[in-house]
């Protein structure tokens, strides 16, 4: 009878896997198994719980047990919603704080030198980012369980945006729920949402590694920061914003570092990646500045520290002061567009550029020198796919000029280009928390004001003035493009391009929003109900490579994507320029 149950369960899981990989039943699932070298005997070991097969606990389970013990030890601590102001707006901070504290203790055990003097305070600042990340990963699942402390109808009403009864939310129910789960070391939550245990260990391990790298590098680089960015050696680190980029390669993210006091802060960006591409690009910007002899055109400082990390000046955005400055801005925008086109750039969307008075800065130059499709030029045809191919190679390819992108299930058309984006007209509904860390906390639809596109030279709420400055853009583009064709500028530009040889650049093989949507779906409560549910969501990435009749390079891409996504990263592919 037990064997029959297992067989039925296994068949159900196989059907779920097939639906994720091959929803139209065209043979992709069979190809998936064949290319992985799997047979029916392998499927049971892959798809059925390890406990049912009598396997030993994985390595991460010991770390999870340590975190759960820290939760039990903290169960009787005082509940102080007026305590740490930096964590009050982080969902389930009372429940997650013991995990953060234990992770900081682990970092202290592994790297005691980081807890000497003022650096100890820096670790405390950095720990808030860990609390926020744990809340992002666990929050919606916890909310599903927490909602059971209320009548279903009340939760529904709260999700619809109704105010709490009496207009005020208490915390007694929330505190009791948190204590109950702390006392059992999160056991009930982890039994209900099994994938969460490993993910919590992944998040904590990534934070320890990345925080240690950042703090060690800061200690070693204070002289460089003072020399290049004017940050006094004794200026304390008073803030870290670690949410400026997607997580890549082990949870690494760009961080905005703030030094000194609030009245006169120093800001610099820390980027845990090869910064040579960005530094070389700023060299080219400086070279073009020498051609132009125009003080309104300049770049910003970038410092490379080996091939693993570096720093970039913080670019403070500001709208143009008057019509003359706005005209200069659009002329400089045209100049920058010419340069990006010459260097084969893509991904020049509004979030990657910052308007600063008459200047427009590209703040992330990792997608220069992207390969291009080549239509058949020998045919002499000027219409149909050949024309479209040439448009794909044209200046439109940068993503800098207005272009519509279709997003969402309803294929809504939006423009995220640097020049075509619009300042938001009002609030929009987005998923978020209501009545955070109270008895009435729910994950619901909240109204939020979208960010103003940083590439626009006008204040928030002002209409995009691009239509009145087409001539300025054309003039700037024409100026730089023609200069680049002349000697000696052409020779100098070629020399600057050759300096990129061997430098790593990013290959965007799939739209980042695809990864982000799948990661979001894979952290929904229903996806965390068992390991397979989460895995099958990520398996949707296999469809593209399985369309090929033979196993090719895209199969290796998918394998790498899957490893990264399982560990909460957005996949990141690099390639050394000048290589194959």
pLDDT band at 308 (very low <50, low <70, confident <90, very high): very high
The helix (H) or strand (E) run that includes residue 191 is helix 187-192
Q: Is 316 helix (H, G, I), strand (E, B) or coil?
A: coil
Residue that wins the pLDDT comparison between 383 and 103:
103
For residue 140, pLDDT beyond 50: yes
Q: What is the arithmetic mean of pLDDT over 220-245?
A: 91
Contacts of 323 (CB under 8 A, 6+ apart): none
Q: What is the arithmetic mean of pLDDT over 183-198?
A: 96
Residue-wise pLDDT for 254-269, tens only, equals: 999 999 877 788 999 9
Contacts of 86 (CB under 8 A, 6+ apart): 128
Q: What is the arithmetic mean of pLDDT over 212-226?
A: 93
- Chain centroid to Cα 300, Å, comes to 23
Residue-wise pLDDT for 36-61, tens only, equals: 998 877 888 888 776 544 455 788 99
Q: Is the Cβ–Cβ distance between 352 and 363 less than 8 Å?
A: yes
Packing angle, helices 323-342 and 470-484, rounded to 10: 40
The pLDDT score that the predictor gives to residue 139 is 97
For residue 7, pLDDT beyond 70: yes
The pLDDT score that the predictor gives to residue 381 is 40
Tokens of 57: 């606990």
Tokens of 349: 């969307």
The pLDDT score that the predictor gives to residue 84 is 47
Tokens of 397: 């390819």
Q: CA 323, CA 300: separation in Å to the nearest integer?
A: 24
pLDDT band at 279 (very low <50, low <70, confident <90, very high): very high
For residue 387, pLDDT beyond 80: no
Q: CA 145, CA 95: separation in Å to the nearest integer?
A: 13
Residue that wins the pLDDT comparison between 125 and 185:
185
The pLDDT score that the predictor gives to residue 376 is 44
The pLDDT score that the predictor gives to residue 143 is 97
The pLDDT score that the predictor gives to residue 317 is 94
pLDDT band at 481 (very low <50, low <70, confident <90, very high): very high
Average pLDDT, the chain: 88
Specify the residue for token string 């960005």. 278
Contacts of 169 (CB under 8 A, 6+ apart): 435, 438, 439, 440, 441
Q: What is the arithmetic mean of pLDDT over 365-392?
A: 55
For residue 503, pLDDT beyond 60: yes
Pure H helices in 437-571: 470-484, 489-498, 512-521, 531-538, 542-546, 553-566
Q: Is the Cβ–Cβ distance between 16 and 538 less than 8 Å?
A: no
- Chain centroid to Cα 499, Å, comes to 29
Q: What is the arithmetic mean of pLDDT over 202-211?
A: 96
pLDDT band at 546 (very low <50, low <70, confident <90, very high): very high
Q: What is the arithmetic mean of pLDDT over 181-186?
A: 97
Task: Please tell me the least confidently modeled range out of 135-139, 430-434, 575-579.
Answer: 575-579
Q: Is the Cβ–Cβ distance between 435 and 446 less than 8 Å?
A: no
Q: With 0.85 as the threshold, say if the pTM is over it.
A: yes
The pLDDT score that the predictor gives to residue 88 is 66
Q: Environment class of residue 530 by beta-carbon count within 10 Å: exposed (0-12), middle (13-18) or buried (19+)?
A: middle
């Amino acid at each position: 009878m037990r064997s029959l149950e297992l067989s039925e369960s296994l068949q159900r899981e196989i059907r779920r896997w097939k639906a994720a990989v091959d929803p139209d039943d065209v043979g992709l699932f069979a190809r998936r198994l064949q290319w992985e070298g799997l047979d029916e005997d392998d499927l049971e070991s892959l798809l059925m719980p390890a406990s049912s097969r009598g396997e030993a606990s994985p390595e991460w389970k010991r770390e999870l047990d340590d975190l759960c013990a820290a939760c039990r030890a903290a169960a009787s601590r005082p509940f102080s919603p007026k305590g740490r102001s930096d964590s009050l707006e982080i969902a389930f901070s009372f429940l997650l704080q013991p995990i953060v504290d234990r992770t900081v203790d682990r970092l202290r055990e592994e790297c005691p030198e980081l807890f000497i003097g003022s650096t100890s305070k820096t670790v405390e600042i950095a720990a808030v980012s860990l609390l926020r990340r744990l809340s992002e990963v666990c929050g919606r699942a916890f909310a599903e369980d927490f909602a059971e402390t209320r009548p279903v109808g009340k939760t529904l009403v709260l999700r619809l945006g109704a105010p709490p009864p009496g207009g005020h939310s208490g915390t007694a129910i929330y505190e009791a729920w948190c204590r109950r789960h702390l006392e059992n070391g999160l056991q009930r939550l982890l039994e209900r949402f099994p994938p969460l245990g490993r993910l919590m260990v992944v998040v904590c391990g990534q934070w320890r590694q990345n925080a240690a790298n950042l703090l060690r590098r800061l200690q070693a680089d204070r002289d460089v920061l003072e020399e290049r960015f004017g940050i006094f050696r004794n200026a304390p680190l008073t803030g870290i914003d670690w949410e400026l980029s997607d997580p890549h390669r082990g949870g690494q993210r760009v961080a905005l570092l703030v030094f000194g006091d609030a009245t006169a802060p120093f800001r610099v960006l820390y980027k845990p990646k090869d910064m040579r591409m960005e530094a070389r690009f700023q060299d080219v910007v400086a070279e073009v500045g020498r051609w132009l002899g125009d003080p309104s055109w300049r770049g910003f400082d970038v410092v490379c520290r080996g091939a693993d990390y570096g720093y970039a000046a913080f670019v403070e955005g500001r709208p143009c002061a008057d019509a003359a400055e706005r005209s200069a801005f659009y002329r400089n925008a045209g100049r920058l567009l010419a340069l990006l086109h010459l260097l084969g750039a893509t991904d020049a969307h509004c979030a990657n550029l910052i308007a600063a008075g008459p200047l427009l800065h590209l703040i992330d130059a990792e997608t220069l020198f992207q390969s291009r499709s080549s239509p058949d030029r020998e045919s002499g045809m000027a219409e149909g796919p050949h024309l479209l191919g040439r448009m794909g190679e044209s200046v439109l390819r940068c993503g800098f000029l207005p272009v519509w992108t279709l997003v969402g299930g309803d294929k809504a058309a939006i423009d995220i280009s640097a020049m075509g984006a619009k300042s938001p007209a009002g609030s929009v509904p987005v998923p978020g928390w209501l009545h955070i860390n109270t008895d009435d906390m729910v994950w619901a639809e909240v109204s939020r004001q979208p960010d103003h596109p940083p590439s626009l030279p006008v204040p928030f709420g002002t209409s995009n003035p691009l239509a009145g400055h087409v001539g300025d853009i054309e003039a700037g583009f024409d100026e730089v493009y023609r200069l680049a064709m002349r000697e000696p500028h052409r020779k100098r530009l070629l020399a600057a391009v050759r300096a990129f040889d061997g430098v790593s650049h990013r290959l965007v093989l799939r739209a980042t929003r695809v990864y982000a949507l799948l990661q979001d779906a894979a952290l929904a409560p229903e996806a965390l109900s068992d390991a397979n549910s989460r895995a099958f969501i990520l398996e949707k990435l296999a469809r593209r490579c399985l369309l090929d009749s033979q196993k090719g390079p895209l199969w290796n891409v998918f394998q790498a994507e899957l490893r990264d996504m399982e560990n909460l990263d957005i996949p990141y592919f690099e390639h050394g320029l000048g290589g194959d």
